[in-house]
Amino acid sequence: MFIVHSYTLAVVLTVITMLCWGSWANTRKLAATSWRFELFYWDYALGVLLSALAFGITLGNAGQLGRHFISDLEQASAFSLTHAAFGGVVFNLANIMLVAAIEIAGMAVAFPVGIGLALVLGVILNYLAAPVGDPTLLAMGVALVVMAIALDAEAYRRQSRHSVRLSIKGLLLALASGVFMGIFYRFVAVAMYPDAARPIAGLMGSYAAVFIFAGGVFLSTFFWNTLAMRFPAMGIPVPFSDYWRGTLRSHLAGVLGGLVWGCGMSLSIIAASRAGFAISYGLGQGATMIAALWGVFVWKEFRDPARGVPALLCAMFLCFIAGLALIVLARTT
């Protein structure tokens, strides 16, 4: 299987992860405006699974080092299969809860609470489990990225015509989402052998682990998304029959979104064998700032900025760039 040996290449892959995780939601704009997110999510989950399968049968079967994709799956223990799949179940719950929190409380509450908490918790858990990199530089980098997320949220709050929607339900959903989003990555990591070039019996390499993770995402969608359709955060319940009324374009938009996010997940796990799980996860979760770039420069969400917003955006991007630089420098060899 293809293995990353260079730290520089590992960083490049995590940057691509950040781009994928920060860009997949744009595919929602390709679907019909009436197409509910709950319906979009079915195709998104399928796209995540197809992406993992594509990586497995291509890069997962390349090269001479490590075990090939199918062989890796065949020898995986119940422990590694269960943990990787459960990581997908946990991620799926976190993702759906985050969307619900945004619907109820708005991005200015959901993002700094949910993604900020996920970033901090995910880096801490993965570093404690596999301490790779300088902890001081890593902590400083994470702190700056979290500050950038907070500045981004404040800019959106000021730009909005209405004040932040204070909602205990939305805040609790964001907190819960942050916890689950922060721990899902660790379940996948413990299912893998640490050195990609030295397989361990029962554990999986990156390609098999991500595929089982994606299977967990896909299968758990039938439970989590069904609940979301019956008890939506906003609006009326969505009947499943509406899914079959969607246009081909709307369905393909969802699959594309899943393919993009899944590509980011695969590259993150592939890079983690060289960069370490904490650094790989931390850089990937800088995706919030990529989403902000789309909003500022492509979708023109700040075309007529409110007072103080340009300064907040400048400070946000400076903190973001500085934070990413420190996370990268946390492991320079």
Give the whole-angstrom CA distance, residue 221 versus residue 85: 12
CA atoms within 13 A on the CB side of 42: 19
* pLDDT of amino acid 233: 84
Q: What is the pLDDT of residues 66-125, one digit of tens each?
A: 899 999 999 999 999 999 999 999 999 999 998 888 878 776 677 778 888 999 999 999
Is 192 strand, coil or helix?
strand
Q: What is the mean pLDDT of residues 245-265?
A: 97
Q: Is the pLDDT of residue 228 over 70?
A: yes
Q: Is the pLDDT of residue 36 over 90?
A: yes
Helices and strands (DSSP H and E) totals, the chain: 13, 0
* pLDDT of amino acid 45: 97
What's the sign of the alpha-carbon dihedral 9, 261, 265, 327?
positive
Among 21-35, 42-56, 165-179, the range with the most confident prediction by mean pLDDT is: 42-56
Kindly list the domain boundaries of the chain, sorted by start residue.
7-329
Specify the amino acid at residue 175: L
Contact criterion met (CB below 8 Å) for 261 and 44: yes
Q: Is the pLDDT of residue 328 over 60?
A: yes
DSSP H/E element including 288: helix 287-293
Q: Is the pLDDT of residue 163 over 60?
A: no
Q: What is the mean pLDDT of residues 238-253?
A: 96
* pLDDT of amino acid 56: 97
* pLDDT of amino acid 333: 55
Q: Is the pLDDT of residue 165 over 80?
A: no
Q: Predicted confidence band at 161 (pLDDT cuts at 50, 70, 90)?
A: low
Q: Predicted confidence band at 39 (pLDDT cuts at 50, 70, 90)?
A: very high
CA atoms within 13 A on the CB side of 210: 29
DSSP 36: -
Among 109-118, 209-218, 230-239, 270-279, the range with the most confident prediction by mean pLDDT is: 209-218
Give the whole-angstrom CA distance, residue 53 versus residue 313: 38
Q: What is the pLDDT of residues 181-192, one digit of tens each?
A: 999 999 999 999
Among 69-83, 156-170, 316-330, the range with the most confident prediction by mean pLDDT is: 69-83
The encoded tokens of residue 198 equal: 């030295």
Is 204 strand, coil or helix?
strand
* pLDDT of amino acid 303: 80
The encoded tokens of residue 277 equal: 């799980």
Q: Is the pLDDT of residue 265 over 70?
A: yes
Q: Which residue in 113, 138, 114 sits closest to 125, CA to CA?
A: 138
* pLDDT of amino acid 41: 96
Our measurement of the distance from residue 130's CA atom to the centroid of its chain's CA atoms, rounded to an integer in Å, reads 20
Cα 219 to Cα 44, 61, 85, 223, 313, distances in angstroms = 12, 25, 9, 8, 39
Q: Is the pLDDT of residue 218 over 80?
A: yes
The encoded tokens of residue 229 equal: 């359709």
Of 171 and 134, more confident: 134
* pLDDT of amino acid 186: 96
